[in-house]
């Protein structure tokens, strides 16, 4: 009987430790999301070849101002940094991480990112590792479902959370235009 009680209390202790770890992980994730909510990542922005750090930063800030102007976002206060290790042999520029004072500007940038087309510049949210893993799984599921014959599927966002959704098929011809004129 003592053995059963001993094992039971150890099991309860292990469950408690697991719950506390889960709560700590959740708290850290929320904290990380909160800090990243003020950031965007800009891809395909040319990198300065200068060896002087301040010149590279000024170059990145000027390019960022140009992108923000195209987005029609009036942000003047921001920090920029390149993500990843510099590699002179790579022909692809490292992503630019832009840090704003609040997330209002980030939301405006993401809403207006379509204004950058047809350029190759892309703007994305700064996602946590957990968010990137979740999005990767969604893309894998989307790919699997498309291979199995489902069509008109897309990843949509609701309240900042991605999910797979059916997309209504759009008829690009209006009834007026579909009839021939004589």
Nearest-angstrom CA–CA distance, 102 and 108: 11
SS3 at position 96 = strand
CA angle 60, 125, 139 (to 5 degrees): 130
What pLDDT, in 10s, does the model give residues 23-77?
888 899 899 999 999 999 999 999 888 889 899 999 999 999 999 999 988 888 8
- Compute the distance between CA of residue 49 and CA of residue 82 in angstroms, rounded to an integer: 13
169 sits in which H/E element:
none
Instruction: Give dist(CA 84, CA 62) in Å, integer.
Output: 20
Q: What is the pTM of this model?
A: 0.73
Return d(Cα 47, Cα 86) in angstroms, integer.
10
The token pair at 47 is: 């990198």
Rg (CA), the chain: 24
What kind and span of H or E run contains 126?
none
pLDDT of residue 179: 41
182 or 31: which carries more pLDDT confidence? 31
For residue 76, what pLDDT is reported?
81
Alpha-carbon gap, residue 122 to 95, rounded angstroms: 10
> How confident is residue 89, by pLDDT bands cut at 50, 70 and 90?
low
Domain 37-125 has CATH 3.30.70.1820: yes
What Cα–Cα distance (Å) separates residue 92 from each residue in 5, 39, 154?
A: 62, 21, 28
Flag whether pLDDT at 3 surpasses 70.
no
Of the two residues 32 and 174, the one the predictor is more confident about is: 32
Contacts of 134 (CB under 8 A, 6+ apart): 162
User: Which pLDDT tens digit goes with each residue over 127-155?
Assistant: 999 999 999 999 999 999 999 998 899 99
Calpha distance 24→109 (Å, rounded): 32
Of 96, 68, 101, the C-alpha closest to 80 is 96
Domain positions in the chain are 1-36, 37-125, 129-166
Q: In the prediction, which pLDDT does 170 show?
A: 62
């Amino acid at each position: 009987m003592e053995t059963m009680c001993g094992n039971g209390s150890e099991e309860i202790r292990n469950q408690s430790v697991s719950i506390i770890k889960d709560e700590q992980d959740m708290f850290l994730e929320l904290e990380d999301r909160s800090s990243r909510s003020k950031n965007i990542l800009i891809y395909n922005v040319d990198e300065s070849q200068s060896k002087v750090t301040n010149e590279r930063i000024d170059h990145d800030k000027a390019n960022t101002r140009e992108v923000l102007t195209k987005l029609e976002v009036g942000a003047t206060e921001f920090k920029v940094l390149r993500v990843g290790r510099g590699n002179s042999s790579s022909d692809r520029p490292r992503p630019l991480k832009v840090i704003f004072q609040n997330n209002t500007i980030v939301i405006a940038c993401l809403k207006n990112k379509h204004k950058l087309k047809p350029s190759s510049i892309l703007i994305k949210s700064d996602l946590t590792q957990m968010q990137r893993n979740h999005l990767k799984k969604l893309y894998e599921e989307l790919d699997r479902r498309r291979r199995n014959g489902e069509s008109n599927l897309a990843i949509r966002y609701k309240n900042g959370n991605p999910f797979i959704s059916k997309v209504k098929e759009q008829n690009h011809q209006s009834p007026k235009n579909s009839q021939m004129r004589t």
